[in-house]
Structure 1
Amino acid sequence: MEQLILIFHVLAALGIIGLILIQQGKGASMGASFGSGASQTIMGSQGGGNLLTKGTSILATLFFVTSFALAVVAKDKAMSVGIADMPVPAVVESSEAEMPVAEDSDIPAMGASDTSSDMPAAAEDIPAGN
């Protein structure tokens, strides 16, 4: 059932794209006033605007209906799986006593001020002027 709805959904989407690309814009009728527009239309001097507009709106309605149907099918699938079938991850609690503490580390502790730094003082960074 889902695959059938999906096929209609894709066909409706492709049909909408095709019909929109075939239609002419509002400014396309400006050339008809100079005599060249009416002779180049496929569906006569009136154009196929009314037919193409109706076809586009029918396909758009079909697209929305199939979108809604796919959402309902997806919701039903999610409800059928249920919460009981989902594995629950194990929760591991750790206390601070279990955390390893590096006493002899090269990484300084936060907030500790070390005055024996290898960094030069600010005055040493600035070269002396002559």
Structure 2
Amino acid sequence: MDAHQITAGLALVLALFAARAYIPNLLAEMTPPASSLAWGFFFFSLGAIGRSTYWSFGRVLPGDAWPEIRDQLGGLNANIGFDLMLILGLILILRARLLAIPEADRRGYNIITCVTYPEPFRLYSILRRK
């Protein structure tokens, strides 16, 4: 077994433990920002661990038939599904940030500009230390 398969297997096992621990919480009633954040991390993790598992074990399990199976699954286009999960997760995480802005201030922000709250994005605001 190669090192990348060991790390992918470890990531998969830990993800299953984390899913068992937290999926009941995803189904519980939460505030909208908390719900978006929780589901965002769920989909982000699903995309990352899914990709890792697919590419590390996809060629091991079918053996010599892997090239044919990979081509039937779309080759590198299989990454589109994983990327869509990552994108959905990140959009939900940004939505959580937007929903965490007080309603009175939220009107001036959207899912992209919410990262600049409470002050506009400026280089000195990043470099400045309080």
TM-score exceeds 0.5? no
TM-score by length of 2: 0.40
Between structure 1 and structure 2, the one with the greater Rg is 1
TM-score by length of 1: 0.40
| Higher percent of residues as helix | 2
